[in-house]
């Protein structure tokens, strides 16, 4: 069985084609700068050298046309060989606890969630609608970033606001990165040789966006991102947790309009706001060269992660493992060390030697004295979308 996974953003479409028998990636790529003067298609066929081609792509329809004709011309999928297309959809609101076979009703429901995710759901929908037009004979499944967190109890997902904002407007914590948190939780269970339903985990997805999740007996019971992906940990360009009254201050004292505040908190804050750099490797380079603001950004970043580890320890009572994942979580030795420093009272003790040499896709980096295991696990969100799409299709047969 072959499954194509699509992640459609506003100006880019990422894709991966999987052979599900051995979960191999046959083809993966990204179509970027769609709608700009010159777009670029970067892709890699099996283990070949990556290829980059510049072309004009005025819209998502043309981009997907390019992808599907490329697929047909390659030897990766034969006629009728593509079992399914799995689409990443950011917001599934309270409607979707599971992946869903895409029908016109599901499309309408995803469209109904646009007010909750105005930056993401419209682009995800565009990818779905154009794929249906071009490949309508292939079953298509929507996999939601929010679905894994639908198990949160009400006292964790409700905000202390007037109840009508929840009942009438859907204002609550939804959480994101659910595909990644769910995937690494399953991998952790496999690595530890224990059933997931018996494990309590704190999973830390640290990439350009970042979030922490408390997992009790395999189910998400709290997560740091909220109604939007802005809440929670400090991120590359997003502020994470701040005083909500800051908005009034910015508006009253600086005269900033709402849109400017939204941009400031989403695109010009986080690490970028503190030290002018949002890429973690760049931040380390600056800090190593003596830049005090970069050192401060690193300290703030790790400190805020540590606070969530402490909070989720209290939520869970017993923690079997802390799991680091995402580009930073998987690669940043120093940051992992900084996050775990001083947590021995909680039984969290990192082994500096293991921490420096974790072996992907899954490695243990805790000291022998650590009662909590510390794992580094390579996340594979695209593969998890393919697996969930396959499970959804199988259940329908
Ligand atoms: P996204 O959230 O867009 O999927 P990634 O999960 O790939 O992003 O994470 C990107 C982040 O990972 C960047 O800040 C990048 O600097 C960081 N990163 C990647 N490799 C390393 C490394 N070796 N050391 C520190 N940070 C790294």
* Three-state secondary structure string covering 74-130: CCCCCCCCEEEEEEEECCCCCCCCCCEECCHHHHHHHHHCCCCCCCCHHHHHHHHHH
Predicted local confidence at residue 358, as pLDDT: 73
pLDDT tens, the chain, 397 aa long: 999 999 999 899 999 999 999 999 999 999 999 999 999 999 999 999 999 999 999 999 999 999 999 998 888 988 778 999 999 999 999 999 999 999 999 999 999 999 999 989 999 999 999 999 999 999 999 999 999 999 999 999 999 999 999 999 999 999 999 999 999 999 999 999 999 999 999 999 999 999 999 999 999 999 999 999 999 999 999 999 999 999 999 999 999 999 999 999 999 999 999 999 999 999 999 999 999 999 999 999 999 999 999 999 999 999 999 999 999 999 999 999 999 999 999 999 999 999 998 777 999 999 999 999 999 999 999 999 999 999 999 998 8
Structure tokens at 170: 């859907």
Report phi then psi at 202, rounded to 5: -115, 115
Predicted local confidence at residue 136, as pLDDT: 93
291 noted as active-site residue: no
Q: Are 141 and 392 in contact (CB under 8 A)?
A: yes
Residues 54 and 200 occupy one common structural domain: no
Report phi then psi at 294, rounded to 5: -70, -40
Q: For residue 205, give its domain range.
A: 193-381
Domain annotation covers residue 308: yes
Residues 134 and 218 occupy one common structural domain: no
Q: How far is the CA of 61 from the centre of ligand 1 (A)?
A: 30
**Residue partners of 199: CB distance under 8 A and separation at least 6:** 185, 188, 189, 192, 215, 217, 218, 320, 321
Domain annotation covers residue 175: no
* DSSP-derived pairing of the beta strands 82-89 and 140-144: parallel
Among 84, 116, 144, the domain boundary falls at 144
- 108 labeled binding residue: no
Q: Are 107 and 128 in contact (CB under 8 A)?
A: yes
Residues 110 and 12 occupy one common structural domain: yes
Domain annotation covers residue 211: yes
Residue identifier of the C-alpha nearest atom 24 of ligand 1: 332
Q: Are 374 and 366 in contact (CB under 8 A)?
A: yes
Residues 230 and 366 occupy one common structural domain: yes
Structure tokens at 114: 């646009």
Residues 350 and 216 occupy one common structural domain: yes
Domain annotation covers residue 388: no
Report phi then psi at 267, rounded to 5: -115, -20
Distance CA 348, CA 344 (A): 5
Q: How far is the CA of 46 from the centre of ligand 1 (A)?
A: 23
Beta-bridge partner residues of 82: 2
Residues 120 and 252 occupy one common structural domain: no
Predicted local confidence at residue 119, as pLDDT: 85
C-beta 358 within 6 A of ligand 1: no
Q: Are 114 and 169 in contact (CB under 8 A)?
A: no
- 119 labeled binding residue: no
Q: Specify the residue for token string 């040499």.
A: 357
Residues 220 and 122 occupy one common structural domain: no
Residues 111 and 210 occupy one common structural domain: no
Residues 105 and 250 occupy one common structural domain: no
Enter the pTM of the model. Answer: 0.96
C-beta 270 within 6 A of ligand 1: no
Q: How far is the CA of 340 from the centre of ligand 1 (A)?
A: 19
C-beta 297 within 6 A of ligand 1: no
Domain annotation covers residue 166: no
Residues 339 and 220 occupy one common structural domain: yes
Domain annotation covers residue 152: no
C-beta 147 within 6 A of ligand 1: no
Kindly give the number of the ligand 1 atom that is closest to the alpha carbon of 208: 2
Three-class DSSP category at 287: helix
- 206 labeled binding residue: yes
Distance CA 49, CA 28 (A): 12
Q: Are 317 and 303 in contact (CB under 8 A)?
A: no
C-beta 236 within 6 A of ligand 1: yes
Residue identifier of the C-alpha nearest atom 22 of ligand 1: 331
| Of 86, 88, 51, 89, nearest in space to 70 by CA | 51
Residues 126 and 224 occupy one common structural domain: no
* 22, 47, 81, 145: the active-site residue: 145
Residues 348 and 207 occupy one common structural domain: yes
Domain annotation covers residue 316: yes
| C-alpha dist (Å) from residue 60 to 27, 81, 108, 335 | 19, 24, 19, 38
Listed in sequence order, the DSSP H helices in 206-349 are: 246-254, 258-267, 270-275, 280-288, 292-316, 326-331, 333-340
**Residue partners of 6: CB distance under 8 A and separation at least 6:** 13, 14, 15, 85, 86, 87, 88, 127, 131
- Per the structure, the count of domains in the chain is 2
CATH number at 306 reads 3.30.420.40
Domain annotation covers residue 124: yes
């Amino acid at each position: 069985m072959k499954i194509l996974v699509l992640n459609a953003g506003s100006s880019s479409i990422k894709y991966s084609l999987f052979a599900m028998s051995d979960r191999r990636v046959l083809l993966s790529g990204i179509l970027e700068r769609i709608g700009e003067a010159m777009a670029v298609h970067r892709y890699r066929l099996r283990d070949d050298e990556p290829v980059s081609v510049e072309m004009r792509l005025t819209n998502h329809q043309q981009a997907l046309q390019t992808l599907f004709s490329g697929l047909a011309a390659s030897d990766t999928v034969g006629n009728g060989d593509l079992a399914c297309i799995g689409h990443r959809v950011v917001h599934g609101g309270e409607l979707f606890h599971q992946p869903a076979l895409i029908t016109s009703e599901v499309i309408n429901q995803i469209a109904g969630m646009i007010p909750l995710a105005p930056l993401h759901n419209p682009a995800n929908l565009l990818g779905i609608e154009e794929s249906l037009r071009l490949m309508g004979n292939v079953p298509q499944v929507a996999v939601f970033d929010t679905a894994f967190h639908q198990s949160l109890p009400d006292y964790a997902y409700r905000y202390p606001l007037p109840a009508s904002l929840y009942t009438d407007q859907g204002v609550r914590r939804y959480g994101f990165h659910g595909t990644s948190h769910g995937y690494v939780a399953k991998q952790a269970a496999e690595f530890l040789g224990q059933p997931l339903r018996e494990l309590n985990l704190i999973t830390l997805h640290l990439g350009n966006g970042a979030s922490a999740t408390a997992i009790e007996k395999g189910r998400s019971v709290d997560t740091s991102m909220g109604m939007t992906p802005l809440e929670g940990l400090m991120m590359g360009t997003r502020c994470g947790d701040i005083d909500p009254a800051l908005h009034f201050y910015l508006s009253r004292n600086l005269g900033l309009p709402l849109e400017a505040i939204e941009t400031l908190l989403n695109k010009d804050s986080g690490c970028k706001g503190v030290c002018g750099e949002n890429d973690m490797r760049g931040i380390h380079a600056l800090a190593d060269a003596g830049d005090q603001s970069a050192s401060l950004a690193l300290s703030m970043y790790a400190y805020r992660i540590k606070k969530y580890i402490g909070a989720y320890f209290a939520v869970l009572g017993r923690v079997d493992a802390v799991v680091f994942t995402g580009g930073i979580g998987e690669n940043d030795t120093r940051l992992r060390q900084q996050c775990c420093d001083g947590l021995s009272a909680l039984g969290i003790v990192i082994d500096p030697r293991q921490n420096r040499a974790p072996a992907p896709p899954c490695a243990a980096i805790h000291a022998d004295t650590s009662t909590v295991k510390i794992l580094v696990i390579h996340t594979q969100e695209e593969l998890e979308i393919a697996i969930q799409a396959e499970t959804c299709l199988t259940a329908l047969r």
